[in-house]
């Protein structure tokens, strides 16, 4: 509302990023602390349905308000965040670690980076082998828009349709797919989800018609609906109860890493080799990451038994 120069805009953008880094791991940990282990996957799925609803309705509602008065849009956001803060502060139960847990945490606190990597290697491996998937997301968020301009004359309409369809499919498919896969082992979930991501990468490479793109979007949405809900529940299981926030923060690093390096690397491939090669390469990277994730998860599941 008050950012009238680029430096103020950059400052508020940084504050928004800091807020996200602090909020998301704490939110995931709070959900894990407040729900039974068997219900966590469905709760995460319900949360993603709400996020999908916001992604589908938000741009349309935001455009309507912005057209009327731009500052009003951000005023509504301030009110919404303030209301959310009040509800969380006064209504949510406190799950702060007890004094004994804090003492355990202090004793287990690694001093050196090497010790920290070994101490938390389980979640760091999960994070590392999820990077291929988030690299695919990074291409869809940036370079795919340029590739769409080569495939379709009305690429802006196609891009908007893809965004809306993706959000709507997330709302429709999220909970049914989670319930269908809730009895499966995590390594089986990895095979299904990474397979969907690899197939969708091939689809994005050659989707030259709206029907083909819609089919690709369905496969892609199925993959993310299966993977991310189950893996968040899995992270909550392997994390010590007093370190859930830290483990969710570690796991979430894959988004930041991919969005930092992905657009540049993908842009180089797009310029030199074209969009088809870019997404076929993404398919190969996802397949390799899926194989590594399968063995990592299988080992973690065996250790947990």
The whole-number mean pLDDT for each consecutive block of 10 residues of the chain, a chain of 305 residues, reads 69 81 79 77 82 76 77 83 85 65 57 65 92 96 92 85 86 89 91 97 93 94 93 88 85 92 95 95 97 93 70
Which pLDDT belongs to residue 4? 65
pLDDT of residue 227: 94
As a whole number of angstroms, the distance between CA 44 and CA 228 comes to 9
pLDDT digits (tens, 9 = 90+) for 194-208: 999 999 999 999 988
What is the distance between the alpha carbons of residues 26 and 9, in angstroms, rounded to a whole number?
26
Per the CB < 8 A criterion, the answer to whether 195 and 203 are in contact is no
Buried b (16+ CB within 10 A) or exposed e, 95-130: bebeeeeeebeeeeeeeeeeeeeeebebbbbbbbbb
Nearest to 166 by CA among 62, 279, 269, 59: 59
Q: Judge whether 262 and 142 are in contact, CB under 8 Å.
A: yes
The pLDDT assigned to 275 comes to 93
List the one residue out of 129, 150, 138 whose CA is nearest residue 264.
138
Predicted pLDDT of residue 105? 56
Rounded Cα gap, residues 237 and 231, in angstroms: 10
Question: 45 near 186, Cβ under 8 Å?
Answer: no
Nearest to 190 by CA among 219, 228, 217, 218: 228
CA–CA distance, 238 with 190 (Å, rounded to integer): 16
pTM above 0.75, yes or no: yes
> Which distant-in-sequence residues (6+ apart) come within 8 Å of 232 by Cβ?
28, 40, 41, 44, 248, 251
Domains annotated on the chain, with CATH:
6-304 (1.20.1250.20)
> What is the rounded end-to-end Cα distance, in angstroms, of the chain?
53
- pLDDT, tens digit, 9 for 90 and up, residues 81-123: 899 888 877 877 766 665 555 555 555 555 566 666 667 788 9
The span from the CA of 220 to the CA of 217, in Å, is 5
* Residue 12 near residue 3, CB atoms below 8 Å: yes
pLDDT of 107 reads: 56
Segment holding 70, helix H or strand E:
helix 70-91
Nearest alpha-carbon partner for 230 in 302, 170, 178: 178
């Amino acid at each position: 509302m008050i950012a009238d120069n680029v430096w103020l805009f950059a400052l508020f953008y940084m504050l928004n990023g800091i807020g996200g880094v602090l909020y998301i791991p704490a939110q995931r940990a709070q959900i894990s602390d407040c729900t039974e282990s068997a219900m966590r996957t469905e709760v995460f799925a319900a949360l993603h349905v709400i996020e999908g609803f916001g992604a589908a309705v938000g741009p349309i509602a935001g455009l309507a308000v912005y057209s009327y008065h731009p500052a009003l849009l951000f005023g509504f956001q301030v009110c919404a965040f303030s209301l959310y803060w009040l509800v969380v502060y006064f209504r949510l139960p406190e799950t702060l670690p007890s004094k004994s847990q804090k003492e355990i945490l202090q004793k287990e606190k690694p001093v050196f980076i090497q010790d920290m990597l070994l101490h938390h290697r389980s979640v760091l491996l999960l994070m590392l082998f999820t990077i291929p998937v988030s690299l695919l997301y990074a291409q869809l968020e940036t370079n795919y828009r340029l590739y769409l301009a080569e495939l379709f004359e009305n690429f802006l309409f196609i891009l908007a349709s893809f965004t809306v369809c993706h959000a709507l499919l997330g709302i429709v498919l999220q909970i049914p797919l989670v319930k269908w896969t809730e009895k499966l082992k995590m390594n089986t979930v990895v095979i299904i989800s990474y397979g969907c991501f690899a197939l969708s990468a091939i689809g994005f490479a050659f989707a030259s018609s709206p029907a083909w793109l819609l089919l690709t979007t369905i496969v892609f949405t199925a993959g993310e609906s299966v993977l991310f809900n189950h893996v968040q529940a899995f992270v909550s299981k392997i994390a010590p109860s007093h370190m859930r926030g830290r483990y969710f923060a570690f796991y979430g690093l894959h988004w930041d890493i991919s969005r930092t390096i992905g657009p540049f690397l993908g842009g180089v491939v797009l310029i030199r080799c074209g969009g088809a090669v870019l997404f076929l390469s993404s398919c190969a990277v996802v397949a390799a990451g899926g194989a590594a994730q399968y063995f990592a998860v299988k080992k973690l599941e065996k250790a947990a038994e």
